[in-house]
């Protein structure tokens, strides 16, 4: 593992002595979790704890219109929630010990939709989307609930959408990190056509992993489906994070000679050779 040397002065009595801190040079990946519409950060806390155990710094949060800000549920817009996501990302990125070049974003449904757009505004290395929702680009500032009245989302989501015709899909097309897409087999809210649109758009990703949770609905109502998703997500992030650490290991180099523990003892004079 790479290390960093930091020379310091250690105050003692009326002066100081020299010292050197030698610390691990690697920072920790950050992982941001974005819940779906009608959900809360509580849905990701258990998974965040498992992923933190891999050596990551995780952040969960509540979008406006949810949990303590529930009174805003009927008025909050996609624009406002995207600003929530940006604020949460920035808080994670500025956290001590977070490697800003190694940030993962995990989003479900509406949170997956926002997570995809986030990649056009902030650096994201790993993107995990479970049943990412899809909305038309119009009405960006109107209340999110109004979209279900103004847009025929049911028909829109049952047809394939070209990446050039949708902001989120365009973002997915432009994403060049590692991408995980998770489908629920029996999802009637975000049907397979939406996942296919994301999958087609994401072909430029560095890697694309696709999983379908057999027998699962959109909300993962069964405990077995929750466990299956957790297994997929944690396993994928473990592969990403551990692979990154393996690549970051410093190559084996010739070790510098060590300083002797004590000054060498002067050699005894040798007797003169006889002739």
pLDDT at position 4 is 61
pLDDT at position 270 is 60
pLDDT at position 244 is 82
pLDDT at position 246 is 77
> Taking 80 as the threshold, does the pLDDT of residue 48 lie above it?
yes
Q: Do 36 and 63 meet the contact criterion of CB atoms below 8 Å apart?
A: no
According to DSSP, the β-strands at 3-12 and 57-59 are unpaired
pLDDT at position 109 is 98
88-97, 111-120, 221-230: lowest mean pLDDT where?
88-97
pLDDT band at 253 (very low <50, low <70, confident <90, very high): very low
If residue 212 lies in a helix (H) or strand (E), which one and from where to where? strand 207-213
According to DSSP, the β-strands at 28-34 and 98-108 are parallel
Q: What is the pLDDT of residues 115-158, one digit of tens each?
A: 999 999 999 999 999 999 999 999 999 999 999 899 999 999 99
Question: What's the chain's length in residues?
Answer: 275
> Taking 50 as the threshold, does the pLDDT of residue 227 lie above it?
yes
Q: Is residue 42 part of a domain?
A: yes
More confident residue, 267 or 159: 159
Q: Is residue 55 part of a domain?
A: yes
How far apart CA 138 and CA 151 sit, in angstroms, is: 9
Q: Is residue 203 part of a domain?
A: yes
Q: What is the pLDDT of residues 50-89, one digit of tens each?
A: 999 998 999 999 999 999 899 999 999 999 999 999 999 9
Q: What is the pLDDT of residues 257-273, one digit of tens each?
A: 655 655 556 555 565 55
Domain harbouring 154, CATH code: 3.40.50.1820
Q: Is residue 244 part of a domain?
A: yes
Quote the DSSP letter at residue 256.
P
CA nearest neighbour of 106 among 119, 115, 117, 98: 115
- Distance from the Cα of residue 160 to its chain's centroid: 27
Q: Which domain holds residue 72?
A: 30-248
- Distance from the Cα of residue 6 to its chain's centroid: 30
Q: Is residue 16 part of a domain?
A: no
pLDDT band at 215 (very low <50, low <70, confident <90, very high): very high
**Count of domains forming the chain:** 1
- Work out the average pLDDT over 12-39: 81
Considering the entire predicted model, what is its pTM? Answer: 0.84
pLDDT at position 10 is 74
- Say if residue 230 is exposed, middle or buried (CB neighbours under 10 Å; 0-12, 13-18, 19+): middle
55 Cβ partners below 8 Å, 6+ apart?
28, 29, 241
Q: Is residue 11 part of a domain?
A: no
> Taking 70 as the threshold, does the pLDDT of residue 25 lie above it?
no
pLDDT at position 177 is 98
pLDDT band at 11 (very low <50, low <70, confident <90, very high): confident
Q: Is residue 44 part of a domain?
A: yes
Q: Is residue 259 part of a domain?
A: no
pLDDT at position 252 is 44
- Say if residue 268 is exposed, middle or buried (CB neighbours under 10 Å; 0-12, 13-18, 19+): exposed
Quote the DSSP letter at residue 77.
B
SS3 200: helix
């Amino acid at each position: 593992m790479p290390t960093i040397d930091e020379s310091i002065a250690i105050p003692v009595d009326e002066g100081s002595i020299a010292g050197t801190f030698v610390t691990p040079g690697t920072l920790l990946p950050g992982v941001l979790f974005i819940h779906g519409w009608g959900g809360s950060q509580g849905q990701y806390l258990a998974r965040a704890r498992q992923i933190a155990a891999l050596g990551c710094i995780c952040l969960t949060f509540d979008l406006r219109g949810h949990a303590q800000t529930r009174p805003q549920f009927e008025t909050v817009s996609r624009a406002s929630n995207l600003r929530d996501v940006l604020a949460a990302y920035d808080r994670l990125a500025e956290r001590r010990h977070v490697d800003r070049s190694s940030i993962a974003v995990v989003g479900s449904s509406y949170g997956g939709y926002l997570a995809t757009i986030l990649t056009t505004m902030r650096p994201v290395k790993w993107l995990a989307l479970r049943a990412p929702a899809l909305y038309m680009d119009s009405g960006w500032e109107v209340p999110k609930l109004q979209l279900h009245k103004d847009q025929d989302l049911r028909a829109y989501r049952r047809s394939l959408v070209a990446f050039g015709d949708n902001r989120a899909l365009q973002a997915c097309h432009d994403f060049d990190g590692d991408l995980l897409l998770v489908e629920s087999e029996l999802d009637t809210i975000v049907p397979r056509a939406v996942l296919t649109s994301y999958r087609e758009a994401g072909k430029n990703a560095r890697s694309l992993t696709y999983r379908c949770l057999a027998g699962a609905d959109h909300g993962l109502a069964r405990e077995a489906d929750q466990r299956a998703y957790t297994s997929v997500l944690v396993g994928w992030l473990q592969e990403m994070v551990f692979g990154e650490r393996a690549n970051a290991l410093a190559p084996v180099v010739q070790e510098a000679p060590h300083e002797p523990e004590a000054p060498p003892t002067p050699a005894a004079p040798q007797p003169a050779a006889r002739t």
